[in-house]
């Protein structure tokens, strides 16, 4: 009995020290790379190995980071949009090969021929050929896009469909415009606003999704910081509304873990939402970019990694899901500088060294 107690004691000490070392390392990265707030997690389908939130919500303040702080996840929104699309396909409300013009025939005479046959799958997998677009682009201007929020996104679709198509690179034409159109398709077949679709899905999983930068609705939430580490005060960014289904969700790390664990469970066949083959398709089913996820082979292990990074100019968030190990690594930050990206890369590499690539 004494021997068992001694073994358990040393195991406990090992895990405490090991965990503390990880926290210290992460905080040293946060400080060195000037990241105000950094949250990270290492998880499997049923275990949270690490979950920490460090730093401050805003530079030059004493508003300390909290476990339930919300972060804008930018392009990591795309995996959520794709997942909701898969749910609607499963329910028979839409098909992967449903054409955009099947749902918006009123635009048929007004678009370039290259877009006549683009499908929901094309749009969700960066194969829609639409021109590149992100929140930093000057065109279209606000004067060109009119109406309420929903009408503005429709006007955007009309605009993009009259522009010259993007030349593909390795079979891909990565554009946020693809996801703007995909979001419109989901709204039309459900007759629900996209925000309602996301909120309803979140409720089924116990996830409280939000939209826009977190401080827009609550100034006591983290503020984003630009490339010069300037905190951005609350403001209604119309371009983020345009990019709603491409990159405008905010969520806490604790809630986002639930979404990522859903993918890990699905890959192992441990959820009834979809068969494991559907999860496989969503994350790894197509070369380079599948449904909301980039994918690659680790050059050291040959493990399959699904990944994405969100960056809408104030927060950078990154997630990686490793198929063979059944683990995921999540990093949330509230800054968007080059140094932030460097720090994230170093931290993820350290976490992989500890928990396996």
Mean pLDDT for 148-173 is 94
Q: Is 6 a member of any domain?
A: no
Task: Show which of 126, 156, 190 is a domain's final residue.
Answer: 190
210's tokens: 């939000």
For residues 107 and 185, membership in a common domain is answered with yes
Here the CATH number for the domain that contains residue 241 is 3.40.710.10
Mean pLDDT for 226-245 is 96
Percent of the chain with pLDDT over 70: 94
For residues 164 and 225, membership in a common domain is answered with no
Better-scored residue on pLDDT, 289 or 109:
289
Q: Is 343 a member of any domain?
A: yes
Q: What is the pLDDT of residue 20?
A: 55
* 157: helix, strand or coil: helix
For residues 301 and 179, membership in a common domain is answered with no
Q: Is 198 a member of any domain?
A: no
For residues 177 and 254, membership in a common domain is answered with no
For residues 228 and 249, membership in a common domain is answered with yes
pLDDT tens sequence across 296-322: 999 999 999 999 999 999 999 999 999
For residues 252 and 106, membership in a common domain is answered with no
Distances (CA, A) of 164 to 111, 113, 132: 10, 10, 10
- Report how far residue 349's alpha carbon sits from residue 250's, in angstroms, rounded to the nearest whole number: 25
**pLDDT at residue 3 is higher than 60:** no
Task: Show which of 133, 159, 190 is a domain's final residue.
Answer: 190
pLDDT tens sequence across 92-114: 999 999 999 999 999 998 899 99
- Please give the model's pTM, rounded to 2 decimal places: 0.93
* 30: helix, strand or coil: helix
**pLDDT at residue 207 is higher than 80:** yes
For residues 213 and 349, membership in a common domain is answered with yes
Are the beta carbons of 73 and 310 closer than 8 angstroms?
yes
Q: What is the pLDDT of residue 8?
A: 38
Residue 127: φ, ψ to 5°: -130, 25
Percent of the chain with pLDDT over 90: 92
Better-scored residue on pLDDT, 289 or 169:
289
Domain count, the chain: 2
| Host domain of residue 230 | 35-75+207-355
* 194: helix, strand or coil: helix
For residues 89 and 71, membership in a common domain is answered with no
For residues 227 and 178, membership in a common domain is answered with no
Q: What is the pLDDT of residue 17?
A: 41
Residue 321: φ, ψ to 5°: -120, 120
Compute how many other C-beta atoms are within 10 angstroms of the C-beta atom of residue 159.
16
327's tokens: 């683990």
Provide the 8-state DSSP code for 112: -
Q: Is 90 a member of any domain?
A: yes
pLDDT tens sequence across 4-51: 344 333 333 334 444 458 999 999 999 999 999 999 999 999 999 999
For residues 215 and 91, membership in a common domain is answered with no
Q: Is 105 a member of any domain?
A: yes
Our CA dihedral for 159, 133, 233, 258, rounded to 10 degrees, sits at 110
274's tokens: 């979809």
Q: Is 9 a member of any domain?
A: no
Mean pLDDT for 250-259 is 98
136's tokens: 């930093």
For residues 211 and 169, membership in a common domain is answered with no
Backbone Cα Rg of the chain: 21
- Report how far residue 294's alpha carbon sits from residue 289's, in angstroms, rounded to the nearest whole number: 4
Q: What is the pLDDT of residue 14?
A: 39
For residues 170 and 274, membership in a common domain is answered with no
149's tokens: 């929020």
């Amino acid at each position: 009995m004494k021997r068992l107690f001694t073994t358990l004691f040393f195991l406990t000490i090992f895990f405490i020290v090991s965990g503390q070392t990880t926290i210290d390392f992460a905080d040293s990265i946060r400080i060195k790379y000037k990241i105000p707030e950094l949250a990270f997690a290492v998880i499997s389908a049923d275990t949270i190995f690490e979950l920490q939130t460090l730093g401050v919500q805003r530079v030059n303040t004493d508003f300390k980071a909290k476990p339930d702080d919300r972060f804008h996840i930018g392009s990591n929104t795309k995996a959520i949009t794709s997942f909701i699309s898969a749910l609607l396909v499963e329910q028979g409300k839409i098909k992967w090969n449903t054409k955009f013009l099947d749902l918006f025939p009123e635009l048929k005479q007004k678009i370039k021929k290259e877009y006549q046959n683009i499908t929901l799958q094309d749009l969700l997998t960066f194969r829609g050929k639409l021109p590149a677009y992100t929140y930093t682009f000057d065109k279209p201007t606000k004067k060109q896009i009119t109406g309420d929020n929903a009408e503005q996104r429709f006007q955007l679709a009309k605009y993009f469909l009259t522009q010259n198509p993007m030349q593909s690179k390795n079979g891909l034409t990565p554009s946020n415009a693809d996801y703007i159109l995909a979001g419109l398709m989901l709204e039309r077949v459900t007759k629900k606003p996209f925000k309602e679709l996301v909120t309803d899905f979140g409720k089924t999983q116990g996830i409280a999704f939000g939209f826009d930068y977190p401080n827009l609705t609550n100034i006591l939430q983290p503020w984003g910081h630009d490339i010069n580490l300037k905190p951005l005060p609350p403001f209604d960014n119309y371009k983020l509304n345009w990019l709603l289904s491409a990159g405008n969700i905010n969520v806490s790390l604790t809630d986002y873990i639930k979404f990522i664990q859903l993918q890990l469970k699905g890959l192992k066949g441990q959820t009834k939402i979809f068969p494991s083959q559907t999860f496989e398709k969503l994350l790894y089913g197509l070369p380079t970019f599948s449904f909301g996820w980039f994918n690659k082979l680790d050059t050291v292990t040959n493990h399959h990694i699904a990944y994405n990074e969100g960056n809408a100019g104030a927060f950078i968030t990154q997630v990686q899901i490793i198929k063979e190990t059944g683990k995921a690594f999540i990093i949330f930050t509230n800054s968007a500088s080059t140094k932030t990206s460097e720090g994230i890369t170093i931290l993820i590499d350290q976490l992989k060294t500890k928990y396996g690539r």
